[in-house]
Amino acid sequence: MTILHRARGFTLIEILVVVVIVATIVGTVVLSMGLVSDDRELETERNRLASLIDVAQDEAMMQGREFGLEFMRSSYRFVEFDPLTFQWAEVPYDELFRLRYLPEGMEFDLYVEDKNIVLDLDPQQFSDPEEKADMSSDDNDYAPHVFVFSSGESTAFEIHLRRDVSDQLLVMRGDIFGDIEFVSAEE
């Protein structure tokens, strides 16, 4: 009496099921580690900045206020023109227009009228209105990079939001009419 043992292998369906399970686990691990989320984080920051500029434009037109936007390498803040002192100052008591920092590793490049603006690490200091005895002397007065006027106009600008580690770049442009558009880095 001869007993034949047949070697049994895996079927194609079993192999495909294992491949799908492994691919799902690997995809979940990669997403949870944040290896793919950098681009979304850049988009979130760009969208936040565009929304804040839109709000500043609306506030400027509705309330007759003049706003400015100062950029640093990895932060930005909104400022307001005080018509009584003829100087720029922080927007008082408004959490929306406070100094904001970008997440670690992100930086701005700013272009105004096609000129690259060298950005500082820290915000500029405001002039003290009480120390200013002579109103005609405005040699070292503070001025923001981008203006948002109550007429609805603003400074034309281009902002590059970049993350050097992952070599990612997002571009946002604003024109003199206050319109903001997102463009690809190649344009």
For 114-127, write each residue's pLDDT tens digit. 899 999 998 888 77
Token look-up 């604003």 returns 174
Nearest 5°: CA angle at 145, between 87 and 94?
60
The tokens describing 150, both together, are 């109550």
Q: Which tokens is 149 given? A: 């006027």
3-state secondary structure of 144: coil
Q: Tens of pLDDT along 152-178?
A: 899 999 999 998 887 889 999 999 999
Cα–Cα distance measured from residue 157 to residue 45, given in angstroms and rounded to the nearest whole number: 17
Cβ atoms of 77 and 99 within 8 Å: the answer is yes
> Residue 179 pLDDT more than 90?
yes
Return the CATH architecture of domain 33-127+142-183. 3-Layer(bab) Sandwich (3.55)
Give whole-number Cα distances, 35 to 5, 26, 38, 44, in Å.
Answer: 49, 12, 7, 16
Q: What are the pLDDT digits (tens) for 41-84?
A: 889 999 999 999 999 999 999 999 999 999 999 999 999 999 99
pTM value?
0.73
Q: Which amino acid is at 155?
A: T
DSSP 102: P
Q: How many residues does the chain have?
A: 187
